[in-house]
Amino acid sequence: MVASSDQSRLALSSYLHNILDTPEHSDLRQLTALVEHLFHVPVAYMALLGTGETVVVRVGNGTEYAPRLGALQLDRLLAEPQLVRDSASDLPPGTDLGGLRFAASALLRATSGVQFGVLVIADRIPRPGFSADDLRALVDLASVLAGKMELRMLASIALEAELSLRESKENLSGIADCAPVPLIYCGADGACTYVNQAWLDFSGRSLEQERARNWISLIHADYRKAVMEECFRAFEAMRQFTAEAPMRRRDGQYRWILSKGAPRFRKDGSLAGYVGCLIDIAEYCGSEDPQACRATRRRCDRFCTSTE
């Protein structure tokens, strides 16, 4: 099982790895070049980690020295900033840094505290004068770099979430537009926020007009109050509702419509809104009960040529 800190670091480094493509990759190279300039070193790079303290990517100059710098031991690098002023005197005999004599490192840490990498600088000559203040400056600079990378990660996550939400809405809208019956969605306040294409075909109004004009206005005046009261009671009780009434079609004719609505709830149980549909009873009246069908058609015929 992967530890929670490893999971957090994997998620973070995965996002960072993904955004290291152009142009972000070149931006980070510019930052490591700035580190080189400030500390006058030929080697400056960032190593980003995945799970199990495994380096997944390096960005900067001198990364070819990374295997040699491994002699500094990654677990030590991740524990605290490291400093080797002169490898000949600070490291055990026989330690080979591949021609490097000086090395220093600082942690790359997210604001959550998760360590997701290290910033490494090195030189081919010893730096006996590299002070504790210099090391603190490297640590501060690593914090700035980590902040930039984390901001990029957050921006990437936000963009992905926005695109995913937009795609989901487009997919849902496309599915709803394929429905053979008019559909409507109202928020928790009862205001219309969406209708599908079948609804627009029935009403003859645009989506903007439907949002601005209450859908209740399509109901025949003789039935409007009763339908409104039933809808209000359903909203108050957060339950399903069913109502029958003649509704005006785009050609001015009234059709006998069965309206059905159901509440939609958020994860916390609060009311998010209502989903409703309209069914033209005359069109969908079946033949299983001819007497009931004829009664329905008589009600429909009364309003088929009626206008307000």
pLDDT in tens, 86-143: 888 888 777 778 888 999 989 888 777 777 788 899 999 999 999 999 999 999 988 8
pLDDT given for residue 57 in this prediction: 76
User: What pLDDT score was predicted for residue 95?
Assistant: 77
Q: pTM of the predicted model, to two decimals?
A: 0.47
pLDDT computed for residue 138 by the predictor: 93
Token representation of residue 117: 């990498």
How many CA within 13 A on the CB side of residue 266? 7
4-159 and 172-304 in the same fold: yes
Q: Where are the beta strands (DSSP E) in 156-253?
A: 183-187, 192-195, 241-248
Cβ neighbours around 79 below 10 Å, total: 11
DSSP state of 212: H
Beta strands in the chain (DSSP E): 43-49, 55-61, 82-84, 102-109, 115-123, 183-187, 192-195, 241-248, 254-265, 271-280
- Domain parsing of the chain, residue ranges: 4-159, 172-304
Most distant CA pair in the chain: distance in Å?
A: 104
**pLDDT value of position 272:** 87
Check residue 52 and report its DSSP letter: G
Q: Which numeric CATH code is attached to 172-304?
A: 3.30.450.20
Say what the pLDDT of residue 23 is: 41
Distance separating alpha carbons of residues 34 and 135, to the nearest angstrom: 16
Q: Which CATH number fits domain 4-159: 3.40.50.970, 1.10.940.10, 1.10.150.120, 3.30.450.40?
A: 3.30.450.40
- The residue ranges of the chain whose pLDDT is under 50 are 1-3, 9-10, 12-24, 154, 157, 287-288, 305-308
Give the separation between CA 294 and CA 40, rounded to whole angstroms. 93
Retrieve residue 69's tokens: 């710098």
Classify strands 43-49 and 115-123 as parallel, antiparallel or unpaired: antiparallel
Helix or strand run (H / E) with residue 269: none
Q: Identify any residues that bridge with 107 across adjacent strands, giving them in sequence order.
A: 118
- How much is the pLDDT for 17? 45
Residue 177: what pLDDT? Answer: 76
Contact 211, 193 (CB under 8 A): yes
Q: What pLDDT, on a 0 to 100 scale, did the predictor assign at position 15?
A: 46
If you compute the radius of gyration of the chain from its CA atoms, what whole number of angstroms results?
34
| Token pair listed for 253 | 């004719």
Burial class (CB in 10 A: 0-12, 13-18, 19+), 211: middle
- Residue 214 CB neighbour total at 10 angstroms: 15
